[in-house]
Amino acid sequence: MDRALGTLALFVLVFSLPWPVMADTPSPAVDVTVHADQPGPKIDRDLYGQFAEHLGRGIYEGVWVGEGSSIPNTRGFRNDVLAALKALGVPVVRWPGGCFADIYHWRDGIGPRSSRPVTINATWGGVEESNAFGTHEFLDFAELIGARAYINGNVGTGTPQEMADWIEYITSPTRSSLAELRRKNGRDRPWRLPFFAVGNETWGCGGGMRAEHYADVYRNYATFIRGPSDNRPSRVASGANSGDVHWTETLMAQAAGSMDAITLHHYTLPTGRWDHKGPGRGFGEADWIATLQGTLQMDGLIAKHAAVMDTYDPGKRVGLFVDEWGTWYDATPGTNTAFLEQPNTLRDAVAAALNLGIFHAHADRVRMANIAQMVNVLQAMILTDKDKMVLTPTYYVFEMYRPFQDATFLPADVATPAYELASASVPMVQASAARDASGGITLALVNLDPHRSANVKVKIAGALARAVSGRVLTAAAMDAENTFGAPEAVKPAALQGARVDHGGVAVVLPAKAVAVLRIQ
């Protein structure tokens, strides 16, 4: 039995089968029980956050092209990318890094662009950084797509004074010199700044610190994270690398009282090796199941860190922000390996759906998550090539899962056979459910098996289904992707055949598919 999530407004991302189910691949029965009578915490919309770093073509070419570009733009931002992100309902964006954050000095990115210094992005490829995209551009961008701002401060090469000045520059409504400098640079009223992080990966690229040392550094810097009483950012501590529970233990023991959240970073590598992560396309079934098996480890990681946090914060005041997550493969051949460009296939869509379901299940502690990254980098929502843009399978999972934002988590039990290959084994079907403000239920179903469809029967404890509709995302190949030549190869379709059955729901869930059902 797998305990999963639910949102009572069943949108089932179920794909229509691209080929008939063969006799040698029978469709096993899967039973799902959604506990509408046991509502859980709110699924914070910030679990659907994004991450935009000065890395490769993530910002420049991906988001920013400048006002003089022939690519249609609004004040320098690509119109096609703005429209796609606005349609996605992005709740929050993290910037400027990542590792770049700890070499970024905010004063380099303000004032007339012609006067801004050209620096070197020593973290990602040693390329020139024009600083054309700075504080004003980022906060303008966030407003344009309707997202809240999450800024990552520089601890590695910065100072508490620099950080405090940046916050004052952004938030102060006064006539202080920094507020007046902001006005001189074109912004009269302050911006909202909901979240501010003290460094990034301070155990690694952010300073190579021990947990004990960073705990003291964090408390020092956090002292100076101030702002107006109605615009004071939440203080975010740089948290652990994957399974490093000692880091979380140390920070919670020594600095929990001065933080509002602590971060966790975890990436899925098919091989588990950083020197050879595995290909993003043209992979075999062994890489498929290894990727999904690695993705499911997120559940145990969060549980371990949350248990430590519970010891020091039983009231769950401090949020856990999984502000870097996603798949990470070997760079696409022929690209700059420091730019972290990789294909985005159906495998990524399934992995994204699994991660989102895990975040839902831990919504009592996980208050934000930020996929890495938004455009052109790692598991991106969007890919661009000059004036062309394509939406990835991962984008469509986020679009399908929008009804989960701010919905009420509903536990779901799943009785499912396993999907197995050699010694690897994962549950064939995963589920997540929630109830929205109108009382409808959203149910997400994910079939990890690339060969077999599943006959899914859904029971709803505490409610009766009157109507059901859904959408599904699937394709014929495990590595199917959207390309600039075929931008709609992997796209949601109406889910055929879902029906109300004795107060519940019955549906055939295609192989290697993500489905979202709306149940009323």
Residues labelled catalytic: 201, 324
CB-CB contact of 200 with 221 (8 Å):
no
Residue 166, sorted as left (phi over 0), alpha (psi -120 to 50) or beta, turns out to be: alpha
DSSP string, 425-477: EEESEEEEEEE-TTS-EEEEEEE--SS--EEEEEEEET-----EEEEEE--SS
Tokens 């059955």 belong to: 501
Cα dihedral sign, 224-229-233-236: positive
Which secondary structure element, helix H or strand E, spans residue 246, and what is its range?
helix 245-255
The angle subtended at Cα 78 by Cα 73 and Cα 80, nearest 5°, is: 105
Q: Supply the DSSP symbol for 13.
A: B
Closest CA to 428 of 10, 32, 13: 32
Closest CA to 376 of 335, 425, 317, 322: 335
- Report angle CA 66, 72, 73 to the nearest 5 degrees: 45
Tell me if 416 sits within 8 A of 427, measured CB to CB: yes
Spell out the alpha helix ranges (H) of 61-147: 79-88, 135-145
Which tokens hold the place of 303? 């549980």
| Residue 187: CA count within 13 A, CB half-sphere | 23
How far apart (Å, rounded) are the C-alpha atoms in residues 281 and 273?
Answer: 17
> 132-150 burial string, b = 16+ CB within 10 Å, else e?
bbbbbbbbbbbeebebbbb
The token duo for 476 is 């014929």
**Treating both helix axes as pointing N-terminal to C-terminal, what angle do 79-88 and 393-400 enclose, rounded to 10 degrees?**
40
CA 46, CA 338: separation in Å to the nearest integer?
Answer: 29
Report the DSSP pairing between strands 73-74 and 77-78.
Answer: antiparallel
Q: Are strands 148-153 and 92-95 parallel, antiparallel or unpaired?
A: parallel
Largest CA distance in the chain: 76
Nearest Cα neighbor of 182 from 168, 199, 162, 197 is: 168
Rounded to an integer, what distance in angstroms lies between the CA atom of residue 499 and that of residue 505? 6
Provide the sign of the torsion angle of the four alpha carbons 493, 499, 503, 508, taken in this order: negative
